[in-house]
Amino acid sequence: MSLLLDSLAAGFDGDARRRAALDAALRDGLPGPRSEAWKYTPLRALERRAFAAAETVPDIDPALLAGIPSPRLVFVNGRHAEMLSELDALPDGLTLRPRAGEAERGSGDASRYDRSDAVFARLAAALADDGVVLRAAAGAQIDAPVHLVFIGAPQADRELAWHLRHAITIGDGASLQLVEHHLAAGTHRHLDNALMDIDVGDGGRLLHARVQSGADGATAFLRTEATLAASARYERVDLELGGALSRHELNVRLQGAGAHLTANGVLLATGRRHLDTRLGIEHLARDTTCGLLWRGIGAGRGRAVFHGGITIHEGADGSDAQLSNKNLLLSEGAEIDTQPVLVIHADEVQAAHGATVGRLDAEALFYLRTRGLPEGEARRLLTAAFAREPLSAVAASAARETLDSHLDRALQALAPA
C-alpha cells in the first residue's frame, strides 16, 4: 500500500458500507500509467506523501471573503466555518446547511465507483464526514446566487487532507444560481478530495459557476455526478486557474426527454501546473441536447489534459451533441493533451466534436502591433479573447461578474511570451 493511502485511511470511523468502499480503494491502490483514464496524470509523486486529517478551523483574514455575499456556506480546510458563513434569512424554498452529523454521513451510493480507477471517489465516499446539503424546493425561483466557498489555509508543520461530499437537489420547476469558490488563504500543499451529487428535477434549472484558484502547491480531486430529468436545464462554466495538480471528473446523465446541458470551461495551465478535466456525458432519452465548449491554455511548463466523452445511447433519438475543445500553447515547455470521444448507438441524431492545439495567430498579432500595441499587450489581448468564449454560457449576472474578474486576474498574471 502507498504511504498516501496509509495516511488517508488512518483513524477511519464509519459504518460497514463505508468500510467496504475504503477497503476497495485500498485493495486496488492508485491507478498507474496503464490505466487509460490516468495515463496523462501520473500519481507517483503523490503516493509517496502522507497527510494528516484536518481537525480544526484555522483563523483566516475575513477580507478573503469580501465581495462574496450571502447566502454563503464556508469551509476552511474541509471544516465548516460557522463564523464565516452567512445563512440568515434564506429565501423561501431554499435549504442550505453543512452535511456534518451521523444521520448524513452514511448516505449516498458508493456502488457507482466500483472501477479501480475511481480510487479518489471511493475515498471520498468512505471518508467524507461533512459537505454541503443544498435543496431548492419544487417551483422555487431563487434569484440571488448561492455561494459555496472552500478555502485552503496553511497549517504549521503538517500537510492536511480532507474529504467532502455534497448533495445538490433542484426540485421540479425550480431555478437556482450556484457559485463555487475554491480559494487559498496562503501557501500550502494540502489535498482536497470531494464528491458532488447533483439532481435537477423535471423542468428545473441550475446555473452553476465554479472557480478553482487554489494554492500553487495544492492538490485537488473532484468528481461531479449530475442527473437531469425531463426538460431540465443544467448550465455551468468551470475555470481551472490554480493548484499544482487539479483533476475534475464531470459525469452528466441526460435521463429525461428534452433535458439540456451546457458545460463550458477554461483550463489555464501555467508554471508547472497540471490540470486534468474529464467529461462523461450520457444521452439516455429522446431529444436531449448538450453543448460543450472548452478552451485550454498552456504556458511555462504547465500541462492541460482534456477528455471529452459523449455517448448517445440506444433510444436517445433526436439527440444533439456538440463538443469543441481548442487549445493555445504560449511556450515551448507547455503541453496539452486532448481527446474528444463520440459514441453513437441511436438513429436520427446530430453530433459533432473537434479539437485543436495551436499558437496565437501570427497575422492577428501582426495586425495589433501595426496599430501600436506592444507585443506583450497584443498577446494578452488575443489570449483573453480566446479564453472568454466559454463564459458565454452565463448571461450577465453576479455569477458572470465572478467569472470575469477571476479570469481577468489570471490572464493578467501571464508573463509575456
Q: Which residue has the higher pLDDT, 17 or 199?
A: 199
Would you list the domain boundaries of the chain?
3-361
Measured distance CA(318)–CA(288) in Å, rounded = 7
* Res. 104: pLDDT tops 50: no
pLDDT (0 to 100) of residue 105:
41
pTM: 0.94
Q: Is 160 within 8 Å of 77 (Cβ atoms)? A: yes
Highest mean pLDDT, choosing among 27-31, 34-38, 273-277: 273-277
pLDDT tens for 9-21 read 997 888 888 888 8
Q: Distance between CA atoms of 201 and 233, rounded to whole angstroms?
A: 9
Place of cell 458508493: 110
Indicate the SS3 state at residue 130.
coil
- Per-residue pLDDT band at 110 (split at 50, 70, 90): low
Give residue 120's pLDDT band: very low, low, confident or very high (50, 70, 90).
very high
Length of the chain: 417
What per-residue confidence (pLDDT) applies to 413? Answer: 82
Q: Rounded to an integer, what distance in angstroms lies between the CA atom of residue 126 and that of residue 161?
A: 14
> Position of cell 500509467?
33
Three cell numbers, residue 409: 486576474
- pLDDT one-digit tens code per residue, 276-308: 999 999 999 999 999 999 999 999 999 999 999
DSSP of 381-397, one letter per residue? HHHHHHHHGGGGGS-SS
